[in-house]
A and B are shown apart, each in its own frame.
Chain A
Amino acid sequence: METTTNKNETFQNLLQTLVETPGPSGSEHLIRQKIEQEVREFADEIYTDALGNLIVRKDSKGEGGKRVMVSAHVDEIGLMVTHIDDNGFARFIMIGGVSPYTCLGGRVLFMNGTQGVIGLERLDKDEKPSLEKMFIDTGATSKEDCKISVGDVCGFERPFLDLGKRLVAKSMDDRVAVAVAIEALKRIEITPNEIFFVFSVQEEVGIRGAITAAYGVDPEVGIAVDVTRTGDTPKSNKMEVALGKGPAIKVRDSSFIADPKVVNWMVREAKEQGMPYQMEVLEAGGTDGAAIQRTRAGVPAGCLSIPCRYIHSPSEMVDREDLEHSVSLLSALLSKGIQL
């Protein structure tokens, strides 16, 4: 039991380190370094491609094995400065899908270490808040005094919370999947497969990194690991995914239809492992799976989803057991010969 506890603690520490490292799309250098340090001793080859994807190869193709690409994106949503006014207030646009509602009262951390808070102009009666009416206040008293400039990038800042069964942080999307992929990489002992763990960039701005990574890796099978929405909160959207009911096996989202052969393979393995799982039909949203599926002459691809509440808010919530089951499912899938 003691080893399990230690393992869980290590995993949670890793997750906390990952979510607390800023890395909005296009500025993934810090998070990439963290991941590289973590995986180096488990990799047979590591390289960074032209767009900044970190590609980690484990093993070579053996008898009955396949070239598999596992993709978890390292970038997070964030903001980019567009203008600094004479009083030192910074205007911004979003990087990825940022809701004005979650910005209100928000705190941000720039890549250069500068911190700030988000303020809002006076709104007309019944006017909804919009990003155009907001600004970042870094405590500067003038333009000259401001430590940031046009083009500087920030992520949201919020402490990691351990709520017992549930964990809360900003950027669980998709650092929780990065942590799951790293943990699976560590656990795989013997495999006939040549596995490429891709820690992809620029997913939040249009699944861009996975497009070039998939072309370069040229896999025979692809699995994206990402978070998915749930339908288990008061008056939420109708959706048959809930926290604590196991990893979600994606059937479709608005970016792609998971290959049925891959879906069945994942279901078969979850049943064999006797672990809880749920089927995911997501109305809106996309993952790296879409890019893998359509690369070159086409690749059977699917997605292992981790149920997550409050996605794209600074307080994204996941279930501790779902994470453990996700790691088990992913490492089991990758450790054996793959029959689709």
Chain B
Amino acid sequence: MTEKMEISAKFDPQFGEQELDLLNRLSNALAVSGDEQEVRAIVYEELKEFEDNMHTDAMGNVLVTRKGSDPERIRVMIAAHMDEVGLMLFKEDGDGLFEFKVIGGVDPRQLVGKPVIIGRDHVPGVIGAKAIHLTTKEEREQVLKVESLRVDVGLGGSKLVNIGDRATFATSLAVLGPSLRGKALDDRLGVFNLIQLLKNAPENIDLLAAFTVQEELGLRGAKVAAYHFNPDIGLAMDSTPANDMPDFDGEPVSSYNTKLDGGPAIYLMDGATIGDHRLVKWLTETADAEGIPWQYRQPGKGGTDAGSIHKTRSGVPSVSVSVPQRYLHSAAGMVRIADELNTLKLMHAALSRLDKTIINPQERN
């Protein structure tokens, strides 16, 4: 690794009106896996300056190449997924009611009573359930199964939606003091950060940016994106649960995954990837050198696009970095703006001091 600190010192990301506007559009967009067009359009809009080096591949990934000028530069793929978990209309029952399927990991307990938006026109609806007045005590103790729930678009609205339309929670991004509350921050924060990195990319790398599709269904888009780029190393920028609840019964929670205000979460191992030791060290050492707070994401389950990238072709050393978030995959997640900015800062600083010695086989674990 070279010490190109002066480059990173110039980059001091802020979260002003312009940034809030972009994240607002990204978070409120409807892009359930398999129909990511709305977010894709925002990415294209934001990255007009790269239009000659940007294309949409066969699966719908937006792939952007931003070449550096250093002759010895390393080719770095960074993936952020555009899709979100959600619903798909499955069968019309008449009277404006639609049976639906869940797309990606949605907790059925989170669904009841939520307003939703459906399809490219954001037709409003609601996931209703029998009013409390009419339920028995036994019924109230049961979790309602997805099969027994319906999206109700109101009788007239049923002509505006179709079977196969995707739906998501009707949540608007809100700033709550030092925090942001919104839907689909998994992974629109990653998309947001990748846009910022492209616009401020250091010269010592080729930045191969993949705005991926269908991550929530099994890291599918990243697989073909990584095949296309054939990079030297791979990174996934994502969001991961923070279960940093207060001590219970005098016992601190030992499986918190991550904590808000702890800074970017660096992955050692999840269900899909064992982080390359050299890349983990590079990130943690950069954070320490730059005085950026960071935390390990506790080793555990789950997966990011790195799970697909590292198994591509003859193998790609890979690692993931996430913004910690409470209430992931629900109608409203919560993140700290400071964690988001520190993630961006860390990524930029780390990329700025990167060269090919990072993949020196002698350094591997």
A residues whose Cβ falls under 8 Å from a Cβ of B: 25-27, 29, 48-53, 80-83, 85-86, 91, 93, 95, 132, 150-151, 202, 205, 208-209, 211-213, 215-216
**Which B residues touch A151, using CB under 8 A?**
268-269, 280, 296, 299
- Asked if A49 and B314 make an inter-chain contact with CB atoms under 8 angstroms apart, the answer reads yes
- Asked if A150 and B274 make an inter-chain contact with CB atoms under 8 angstroms apart, the answer reads no
**With the chains together, A151 CA to B298 CA distance in Å?**
8
**With the chains together, A208 CA to B269 CA distance in Å?**
14
Selected contact of B274 from candidates A53, A86, A202, A212, CB within 8 Å: A202
Question: Taking the nearest CB of chain A, how far is it from the CB of B342, in angstroms?
Answer: 19
Contacts A150-B268, A150-B296, A150-B298 given: A26-B315 contact, CB under 8 Å? Answer: no
- Asked if B255 and A212 make an inter-chain contact with CB atoms under 8 angstroms apart, the answer reads no
B81 within 8 Å of A (CB atoms): no
Count class of interface residues, chain B: 20 to 34
Closest to A206 in B: B272
Q: Tell me what chain A mostly uses at the interface: helix, strand, loop, or mixed.
A: mixed
- Asked if B274 and A83 make an inter-chain contact with CB atoms under 8 angstroms apart, the answer reads no
Instruction: Please tell me which stretch of B41-49, B324-332, B357-365 contacts chain A, meaning at least 4 of its Cβ atoms lie within 8 angstroms of it.
Output: B357-365
Q: Tell me what chain B mostly uses at the interface: helix, strand, loop, or mixed.
A: loop
Residues of chain B from 252 to 300 with CB closer than 8 A to chain A in the complex: 252, 254-255, 268-269, 274, 277, 280, 296, 298-300
**With the chains together, A80 CA to B277 CA distance in Å?**
14
Give the 10 A-B residue pairs with the shortest CB-CB distance, closest first: A212-B315, A26-B274, A50-B315, A216-B314, A51-B315, A151-B268, A83-B254, A82-B298, A80-B299, A211-B311
B316 within 8 Å of A (CB atoms): yes
**Which B residues touch A26, using CB under 8 A?**
269, 274, 277, 365
Closest to B364 in A: A52
A-B contact pairs, 14 of them (CB 8 A): A26-B274, A26-B277, A27-B365, A29-B365, A52-B364, A82-B254, A82-B255, A83-B254, A93-B269, A132-B255, A208-B311, A215-B313, A215-B314, A216-B314
Question: Taking the nearest CB of chain A, how far is it from the CB of B358, in angstroms?
Answer: 12
Closest to B316 in A: A50
Question: Taking the nearest CB of chain B, how far is it from the CB of A34, in angstroms?
Answer: 15
Which of B274, B313, B317, B361 has the most CB atoms of chain A within a 10 A radius of its CB? B274
Contacts A48-B361, A52-B364, A205-B274 given: A80-B317 contact, CB under 8 Å? Answer: no
- Asked if B269 and A212 make an inter-chain contact with CB atoms under 8 angstroms apart, the answer reads no
- Asked if B254 and A85 make an inter-chain contact with CB atoms under 8 angstroms apart, the answer reads yes
- Asked if A91 and B268 make an inter-chain contact with CB atoms under 8 angstroms apart, the answer reads no
**Which A residues touch B254, using CB under 8 A?**
82-83, 85, 91
**Which A residues touch B277, using CB under 8 A?**
26
